[in-house]
Every structure is written in C-alpha cells, then in structure tokens.
Amino acid sequence: MLTGDVAYIKQMNRCLLLSKIIEHGMISRADLAKITGLNKATISVQVSDLVSEELIIETKQEHKNLGRRPIMLSINDQAGFALGIDLDKNTITFTLSTISGTPIRTDTIELPSSNYKIILELLIMHIKDYIQQCAHARYGLVGVVIGVHGIVNKDEMIYFVPQHQWQNKNLKKDLENEIGIKIYIENNANLCSFAEQVYKHHQSKNLLSVSLYSGIGLGFMVNGELLKGYHGYAGEIGHMIVVPNGLPCSCGNLGCWEQYASESSFFNQLSDNQNKLDLRYENIQNMLFEKKPKTCNQMEQYIKFLSIGLNNIINLYNPEILVINSELLRMYPNALTEITAHLTSTISQYCELLLSELGNKACVMGACALAIKKFLGVSELCLTSDEDMLS
C-alpha cells in the first residue's frame, strides 16, 4: 500500500511540474519550487527523470549579472508530435503540432462522399503518412484526436452524425485495428471549448463555447473538465426547438435552432434569395459592406434567432465566459453589439460575451491539445497560440 501511495504522489508531482514548464515556456528550478511548493530535492529528481526521457531540455540563459547563468527548463518540442483531425461535412482537416502545441503543418482534403468505408480508408492512409513523418522523434506520433460533428458517447462510439447519416460507428476501434496507435474520438464542439480554455482563457472556471458552422454545437468547460452528461451526449444544442412546426431538420425534428442560426442555414437561405449557388464568405462580406438590403435583412433575422438560442443557453448554464465561434459574425462589425441588445432579460447572467479568435481552427487546435494532455498525463494544460496560425 505504501509503495502505491509513493508512486501516486511521485506521478502527481511529475504532472504538476510538466504542466508548469509548458505553461511558462522556460522556467528555472528555483521558480518551479516557488510556484509549486515542492522542495528542491523533489524537483531535482523529477527534472533528472524528465531530461533522461527527453521530454524536457536544459538551456543556459544569457544574462549580464555576475554569477552563474541560470539553467532554464523547457519542453522538448522534438520529442514527439500530436495530430488533430476535424472531420466535417465536406472536408477533413489535419493539423500536426509539437508537444508544446505549436502547429507545424495543416492539410485539408475534400470528401468524395459520406460513405463510412471510403472516409475510413482516407483517414487510415493519411494518419499512416503522418506516423512516417514523425518516426524520427523519440515518441513519434504521441496521439491522434478526431473531432466529429455529431454525437459521441463516453466510450467514444459515434452514435449519430446527421450530416453523413452515420449511426453506431466504432471509428476508434476501426482505426486502431489498422494503425496500431492510440486514437481518441470527441465531439467537435467539445474540442472547440477545450481549445478556448487551453489557448485563450486559462483562468476561466466556467467557459461555454458555441460553434455555428455546418451545424450548431455546444462545449462547456467546468473547472477544467468537459460537461458531457450521463452518456456523453450533452451539448447537442443545435437541435433545441426554437420554432414549433418549423423547418425540417436532419435529426427528424421540426424547427431546430441550427436550421435558423447555423452558418450553413444562412448560406443556404441567402443562396436561394440571391439565386447564387456558390456563395463564399468574401461574397457575403462585400454584400454587407455595400449594405445590400436582402443580405442586411437576413443578417438581422439571423442574429435574432441566434440570440433566442443564446438566451436559453445562458439561462441554463450561467457561464462565466460565453464564446461564439463564427466566421460569419467575425466579418460583421456590429455582431456582438446587436446580439447583446437582444439579451435584455434581467434573469440572464454572464460575465463576458466574446467572438472566438481561434475561428474554424479551434477544433483541430483542441484536438492537438487533448492528444498532448493525454500523452503527458497532466490535469491542467496551458498553451500559447501561434498568432500566425490564427490569421
């Protein structure tokens, strides 16, 4: 029993030190002792182990003062790599990052169909290619996390993906059988929320992220953990009914929120109104800039329906920070002002309403971060986003 207790404490100390080294980028042993409260002997033993495992490296910092140059500790970026995957309606996006969360490569491929076997083969082929690219590192590819735009249970089984009409697919098992490395499957909105906390809002204890792209998804971080519900199905807020007997939804209901407030619904409606089949974000941005009446009126209706759903979410969860992830709203200067004007209830309470700076990269960033967290075994993870990646 004593051995187990000692090993557990040692593992806790290891995870604490790793998380602080990652958070600060570079830090000395002395500063680690101040921050963590661990004694110098404990830190010395742990650092020695981590250096021998090539997870961290030591460098001498240049300084002009007299005396010995301090030895700084930092994560070894070349020890291994994480792969984040965003499996969306029409595309798959792959992002490879270092174990400090810095992205080094992103690829996007078009999906030829929604057929499960075809997409499975595409995933197998590309993941194997990334494994080969990372073979030079001591730990190679440390983990793969796939964000799915659908319902994923606590066992990481895909229960339902409306856009592909997949039901009860064990993508995790199918991939692991072929590839031989650890695969994690997660809901894309959960990964977006995780990315917001890990990269942008480290101190937030109650962060809620709403993604508005091909559908609407909700991710909620409470004390650093995702709120998933009993089976893991929590967050399918896009299928909250906001218009009784309204527009039909692929889920089988009528009047779901995502039929009125997702970006795909906005694009579809505007395409019908403009008789244009291939509208892009830049087209809409130009129409809004030129104050085209139909486009402006539709945006007004879009924000109205979006605000109805946000009001319901705020009343349900009382978030500290509410992040809206939408490329459409990022190009509309008055978005937050107009949304806030609709949230007039004296009951609805939240501290901050923000537009995501991570945009459509949030899912793959969250996926990379989760793979890193799983590999290192840390309970908390604070990473620094690369501003070039966000542009």
Q: What is the pLDDT of residues 243-255, one digit of tens each?
A: 999 999 988 899 9
Count of alpha carbons within 13 Å of 163, Cβ hemisphere only? Answer: 19
Residue spans of the domains in the chain: they are 2-75, 81-193+371-390, 202-360
Q: Distance between alpha carbon 92 and the CA centroid of its chain, in Å?
A: 15
Per-residue pLDDT at 163: 84
- pLDDT surpassing 60 at residue 391: no
Please list the residues that pair with 206 across neighbouring strands: 222
Mean pLDDT to the nearest integer, 372-389: 81
- pLDDT surpassing 80 at residue 277: no
pLDDT band, very low/low/confident/very high, at 204 (cuts 50, 70, 90): confident
CA distances from 201 to 27, 113, 247, 321, 358 (A): 21, 37, 36, 9, 12
- pLDDT surpassing 60 at residue 387: no
Residues 17, 2: Cα–Cα separation, whole Å: 23
Per-residue pLDDT at 379: 87
Question: In the chain, what percentage of residues exceed pLDDT 90?
Answer: 68
Q: Token pair of 252, please? A: 């089988």
In this structure, how many other beta carbons lie within 10 angstroms of the beta carbon of residue 99?
A: 24
Average pLDDT over the chain reads: 90
Mean pLDDT to the nearest integer, 307-322: 91
- pLDDT surpassing 90 at residue 150: no
- pLDDT surpassing 80 at residue 343: yes
- pLDDT surpassing 70 at residue 347: no
CATH number for the region 202-360 comes to 3.30.420.40
Q: Checking DSSP bridges between strand 183-187 and strand 158-161, what pairing results, if any?
A: unpaired
Q: Do 81-193+371-390 and 202-360 agree at the fold level?
A: yes
Shortest CA distance to 186 belongs to which of 214, 146, 218?
Answer: 146
Q: What angle do CA 115, 120, 121 make, to 5 degrees?
A: 105
SS3 state of residue 231: coil
Question: In the chain, what percentage of residues exceed pLDDT 70?
Answer: 94
Query: SS3 letters for 99-129?
Result: CCCCEEEEEEEECCCCCHHHHHHHHHHHHHH
Per-residue pLDDT at 370: 96
Instruction: Give 256 or 347, the one with higher predicted confidence.
Output: 256
CB 195 within 8 A of CB 189: no
Mean pLDDT to the nearest integer, 124-153: 95
Mean pLDDT to the nearest integer, 33-50: 93
The yes or no reply on domain 2-75 and CATH 1.20.1260.10 is no
Per-residue pLDDT at 344: 81
Mean pLDDT to the nearest integer, 349-363: 89
- pLDDT surpassing 90 at residue 389: no
Per-residue pLDDT at 81: 97
pLDDT band, very low/low/confident/very high, at 62 (cuts 50, 70, 90): low
CATH superfamily of the domain spanning 81-193+371-390: ATPase, nucleotide binding domain (3.30.420.40)
SS3 state of residue 62: coil
CB 139 within 8 A of CB 91: no
Burial grade of 55 (CB within 10 A; 0-12, 13-18, 19 or more): buried
Note the pTM of the prediction, 2 decimals.
0.90
